[in-house]
Amino acid sequence: MVRVSLWLVGETTVNLNLKNKVALVTGGSRGIGKAICLALAADGVRVGVNYVSSKDQAGAVAQEMTKKFGVSAVAVKSDVGKDGAMVPLFDAVERALGPVDILVNNAAHCPSGPISSYTRKAWEQTFSVNVTGAFLASQELIRRLRARKARGKIVNIVCQAAFLGSTSGHLPYDASKGALVSMTRALAREVAAEGINVNAVAPGMVMTEMVAGIWEQKKDFYLSRIPMQRIAAPEEIASVVVFLASDAASFMTGTTLDVTGGLMMR
């Protein structure tokens, strides 16, 4: 059943205006990225599912969107941390689905350990994927939006740890997400007058492969920090991304929305 893109808030009807838009979700093969792909597709968005290694999983996400929601979708391999990745990635999505209107910078690399354990290479790889990848993808989207005089949306997936710091040792990752929060604001300011909204979502703990191991090890500790006393499902992050990608959030830009079950209240 196709979900209708209308929210009834009292007497007011809000049109998400997502039907027939095209989105590119980096790291859409698993976890939160997969949930974002499916939630966008449920509102009629055609979705490019980017992945770096999980070919079968990305293909399955694309097939699921078409089967469940009747939208076209395509899986595209690209390492967003590598030079020269963006033009072929956007070209592939555009050939299959049409020009991209919505970019979700979701792909991330998250090494673990104390400060003494990281090499310069590990630090730079984290920034290459989490910051430079998001920067280059945003730059390519904006170039293409300007060429066709179109409006657009960028949603960056950051993390509560950008503000609070991780308790389990992810220093390069935390710093990279802080940079992405700053980039969200700076870019939002630069392109706001062109009708391009740039916002971020800061999840707390979400049950995906990235955290499943550490959650099991330190579950009681984490639960004691989360007022809602549970971990999120990926779909609970995806629904907020859909909101920011939609015209329901038309007057929002430069914002980071915290979706943490109360772990972070600012």
Ligand X SMILES: NC(=O)c1ccc[n+]([C@@H]2O[C@H](COP(=O)([O-])OP(=O)(O)OC[C@H]3O[C@@H](n4cnc5c(N)ncnc54)[C@H](OP(=O)(O)O)[C@@H]3O)[C@@H](O)[C@H]2O)c1
Catalytic (active-site) positions: 173
Does 39 bind ligand X (CB under 6 A)? Our answer is no
The interface region with ligand X, picked from 75-83, 86-94, 136-144, 187-195 by CB under 6 A, is: 75-83
Q: Which residue is nearest to ligand X (CB)?
A: 31
Q: How far apart are the first and last CA of the chain?
A: 38
* Closer Cβ to ligand X, 30 or 225, answer by number: 30
Q: Which of residues 104-133 bind ligand X (CB under 6 A)?
A: 106-109, 129
* 206 near ligand X (CB under 6 A): yes
According to the binding rule CB under 6 A, does residue 29 interact with ligand X?
yes
The number of CA neighbours under 13 Å toward the Cβ of 107 is 32
Q: Answer yes or no whether residue 217 interacts with ligand X by CB under 6 A.
A: no
Residue 109, Cβ density class (10 Å: 0-12 exposed, 13-18 middle, ≥19 buried): buried
Count of Cβ atoms closer than 10 Å to residue 223 Cβ: 14
Which residue stretch of 45-53, 68-76, 93-101, 188-196 sits at the interface with ligand X (rule: CB under 6 A)? 45-53
Annotate each residue in 89-108 with x if it binds ligand X (CB under 6 A) or - if it does not, as one string.
Answer: -----------------xxx
Chosen residue from 17, 60, 66, 79 binding ligand X by CB under 6 A:
79
Please, which residues bridge with residue 48 across strands? Answer: 24, 74
- Residue carrying the six token digits 């990752």: 173
* Nearest CA-CA partner of 148 in 86, 196, 83, 200: 196
Does residue 27 interact with ligand X by CB under 6 A?
A: yes
- d(Cα 40, Cα 99) in Å, to the nearest integer? 16
